[in-house]
Structure 1
């Protein structure tokens, strides 16, 4: 018996009984309480969708891709289960929380493997398949339908994030991409007929990072959130592994009990955010130097000053295009993709931020101190 779920993008999505039971587990239901875009809703109020619906959408797209590639029925089922669970290891606050917590407990792929291998979800999977086999799809050739540059995960989050933020950058031609996908030499690629659609997806990703994910105010809120997470761990209020079992709201409540974290959480909940004092090109100082400068400035001016180092938009594009002369990487065939990578480098800025009162009263002194350092 199939269960039908209505999705804001794809309409009707169907799941079989085993998939429904996975969805109904406590670990999967926790994804309802983790915002897909963390603190981005402080800038884009509609960005309140969660890891839960993204996981359902990714499973739907992976099924379309599997069908297009003509995979065997058993393999289709396994890939759909993996795609459904690909984000099961996310801690509270999604990637923004992971950036702090991964040095304590590992990244979401590592945590996801552990959740899939043992416990309630593993018991359900093992009735028909192997939970170990599903867990090993992370980072593998078999997982490429989900994880590739042009895989189900990326297509869903770009389209869903754009829809919920209200920006126009996520207009991806999913049908065209899916219908031009192929497998060549164990690699997911597009045929030349899908070149423009693939380019457009990468343009959409660049624009989403530039205008949404790394929006200046989003970065400031993220820096405050990460200070709160770190502070609550340092003073023993929360153990790192507890973030794997909490949703965002509970994590906020717990962090309010931390002396180190409280002022940051109060600022986030009231939207009293730190302000930019100065921005400078990333190439001016490296990350280690930025941390040293952050400490010096905070000590010199006796206040909390944060130097936020920019997150990379993406790793190098590895997408392959199937041509009459064999596989070629997309950057070799597309001057547009090359120009995007150059534009990314130019837009990467280090932000120097602090409380509004500090910027107002000592901002000019701090700017001069930073410029003397570099």
Structure 2
């Protein structure tokens, strides 16, 4: 066993198999992949990595009583993410934003992970049976360790929630029949509000939308000109950026130089340069377990119901951004 420290969950002992997986090339690569895609290029403080998130999800699953097998699945759940995370889905025009899921087992099998797991008596093929990992992944509107961690980690790192708020919420998280739920209406209301700060205020922030738009254009152009190839996405952000910055193509140089925090943007649906089509519903409605009774937060709380109605409208709307100056 080794002890690891996480800024959200504190110190935790983890099993030897997890310690070895942490040091594997496949998992270490995630240290150079930013969770927010292009976010770090337009705001250097938006710098959470897939590695930090993966370690966090593993710890949270452990805290909630998950088996070592589920902790392994948690640590590895994002191992197939490509450079710039979900940007590749925009580049390849994958509507379901699931390219990393399509290539997941290929990435695992080409890595050092199967041999590490085998040494500890585990079969790597257990990982892909996602339906058995009920703490790790759940469809919306349910809570799951993945969803809780990326929400808390982003918002805490970017100063949008306090450590005290986060710790109070985590104390309220429990598990009933293998399902993550909350023990109070207050915790459900807090997380619902936090979740929409993440998925609307942060994900759909004009600067974030701009970063996604420009980097997608850069990568499409570079692929078309054979400056980079699809296989390069299996490296990391740093490696692909190096190829782009040293390609000597003036069109790509110009676009890359416009990725910075001082760009001036304006939301305008009459005169715009960027349009992101709405429609992807990311609604949360946590389960609350109180007095031996399970119910949806929206049933117990008018506030949660109101938040969801508002979010539903916002998520259906297109986002229009005018680039005023770069």
Q: TM-score, normalised by structure 2?
A: 0.83
- With over 3 angstroms needed to count, the CA separation of the structure-2 counterparts of 1:135 and 1:204, relative to structure 1, is same
Partner residue in 1 for 2:241: 252
- Structure 2 unmatched ranges of 5 or more: none
Contact 2:156/2:162, CA 8 A, preserved across alignment: no
Q: TM-score, normalised by structure 1?
A: 0.73
CA distance in 2 between counterparts of 1:130 and 1:102 reads 33
Question: Alpha-carbon deviation of 1:325?
Answer: 8.9
Of residues 146, 153, 160, the one that matches 2:153 is 160
Question: Alpha-carbon deviation of 1:106?
Answer: 5.4
Partner residue in 1 for 2:213: 223
Partner SS, residue 48 of structure 1: coil
Q: How many residues align?
A: 315
Of residues 297, 310, 323, the one that matches 1:343 is 310
Which protein has greater RCO, CA pairs closer than 8 Å, 6+ apart? 2
2:280 counterpart of 1:312: yes
Partner SS, residue 34 of structure 2: coil
CA distance in 1 between counterparts of 2:92 and 2:134 reads 26
CA distance in 2 between counterparts of 1:48 and 1:33 reads 10
Partner residue in 2 for 1:115: 107
Question: Alpha-carbon deviation of 1:3?
Answer: 1.8
- Structure 1 unmatched ranges of 5 or more: 68-75, 281-292, 295-304, 358-374
Q: 1:277-297 CA deviation, whole Å, 9 max, x = no partner?
A: 7236xxxxxxxxxxxx99xxx
> Which structure has the greater CA radius of gyration?
1
CA distance in 2 between counterparts of 1:101 and 1:15 reads 37
Partner SS, residue 146 of structure 1: coil
Partner SS, residue 86 of structure 2: helix
Q: 1:308-366 CA deviation, whole Å, 9 max, x = no partner?
A: 3347361x446444577965444344332321222124434421434638xxxxxxxxx
Question: Alpha-carbon deviation of 1:226?
Answer: 1.3
Q: Which structure carries more helix by proportion?
A: 1
Question: Alpha-carbon deviation of 1:130?
Answer: 1.4
